[in-house]
Amino acid sequence: MSENETNQEEQTTTGGGTKSYRGPWGHIIRGMWRTPLGMFGVVLTTVSITLMILGIIAEVLGVFHNPYIGIITFMILPVGMILGLLIIPLAAWLRRKQYHKYGIVKEHLQINLSDHKHRKFIIGFIILTIVNLAVLVLVGYEGYHFTDSPYFCGMVCHDVMAPEYTAYQRSPHVKVACVECHIGPGADWFVQAKISGLRQVLAVVADSYSRPIPAPVEHLRPARDTCEQCHWPDKFHGKKIKTFSHFSNDDQVNPEVNEMALHIGGHNPQTGDFEGIHWHVSKDVEVSYLAADKKRTQVARVRVKRPDGSEEEFVKEDIEMPEGEEGEWRTMDCIDCHNRPTHIYDMPDEVVDFGLLSKRINPEIEGIREDSLIALQREYPSREEAEAKMTEHLLGLQKLRSEKQAEENGEDIRAAGEYLVESYMNNVWPNMNVLWGTYSGHLGHKYYDENGFGCFRCHDEEHTSEAGNYIKMDCDLCHDEPE
């Protein structure tokens, strides 16, 4: 190509007149501003990167506390920016393909570093590329942490996750991020979780998600990879004193207090033995079981591998696997007993008894325990109605007992009602079919007769082996009187 052809400012004569000559770069750059597609790409990129920067600043300064602002900033706008950057060269390429329609010669694109305009263009391109990459890296980093935050998990799909997020916020693990337990370290489980998350998002959009969310969670990473990053069974040993206080409708003032010493167990550093409750997950001990139901409350078989290498299988004859299902053996880990370590839901009697113990419910008011249980367990169609009517319902029940008593203790009754409403709002979501007892725990055996949850799934003296041994249900296996 001649010097005249590469000089974008050279004047050429056409039809007796003169006009400015533009080389191939000039036609492309100028064309980006004159085609709808090119203009759209430039505007989309500019708007996206500007809003992303503003969003990051707002996030850092804490201006907004809305998960959808984060979704727009960290997930939607980066896509818009990248899309715009791809559209710009596409528009230039399409523009160049149309040159023949206007009689423009398709000259080869060249970069001439001796041309100051080319140098300025390259320098500008490099600067813009660095800025774009820096913004994308920053947004990607912040977006990664945003999508892994408990706030994102609990608030983006608020209606679906409200029960779990509310329980999480008052749990012992509130300082532990959701992903540390649900995903854990490593790329494999991270990718699996994100793919599973897309399926769950589609279920939310299509309004096809389960109500309530099924428990236990399927395909949850083994606790040995997550829980045991902080809780190491080899270091569990000794006993822990627990105190349980219960009231009755006949005596609301003096609680029945039970103290027991829980055999925490695990590896005893003094004797070298594996013992107590955490024997089940101690080193060189493997307990696996075959459940006949998805809730894992009907345990058909239990297999035990002991430190000496011996194995023994215990079978409960009256539990049969559903027809056509073989079932899957599961190696026992933390969540087989601690199945609600974070998303802990209370039961009505626990709520009322704690209210009496903490004096948030005045125990001197006759019949207040029984009436509180009735008001708390009444079927309200929505949380809004429960919030609006529970206190009045409690007051009405007290008036049925004694108009005079209700009038004299009106302030305390309303205070009790507010406490009951607060407890209800922490535990019940009718729209998600999360009611009292929907999510029960396996720790202990208090509610075993009602729903089959707890230790007696296996420790029932009905699981027997070919050798004639059986899984005991002796109380002193797990706890005894404090010394």
In this prediction, residue 8 carries a pLDDT of: 40
In this prediction, residue 150 carries a pLDDT of: 86
For the stretch 179-236, pLDDT in tens is: 888 888 888 888 888 788 778 888 888 888 889 998 898 778 888 889 988 888 878 8
DSSP secondary structure letter of residue 289: E
Instruction: Of 34, 6, 32, 35, give the one whose Cα is nearest residue 21.
Output: 6
In this prediction, residue 100 carries a pLDDT of: 61
The whole-angstrom separation of Cα 177 and Cα 151 is: 9
Virtual torsion, Cα 412, 414, 418, 421, nearest 10 deg: 120
In this prediction, residue 252 carries a pLDDT of: 95
For the stretch 308-367, pLDDT in tens is: 889 999 999 999 888 877 888 999 999 999 999 999 999 999 999 999 999 999 999 999
* pTM, entire model: 0.77
Whether the ω angle into residue 212 lies within 30 degrees of 0, i.e. cis, is: yes
Rounded to the nearest integer, the mean pLDDT of the chain is: 85
In this prediction, residue 9 carries a pLDDT of: 41
In this prediction, residue 1 carries a pLDDT of: 39
The whole-angstrom separation of Cα 316 and Cα 110 is: 81
Pairing of strands 256-263, 479-480: antiparallel
SS3 call for 468: coil
Contacts of 323 (CB under 8 A, 6+ apart): none
- Alpha-carbon distance values, 336 to 10, 288, 425, 446 (Å): 81, 10, 27, 16
The whole-angstrom separation of Cα 228 and Cα 330 is: 18
Q: If 0-12 CB within 10 Å is exposed, 13-18 middle and 19+ buried, where does residue 129 land? A: exposed
Residue ranges of the chain with pLDDT lower than 50?
Answer: 1-18
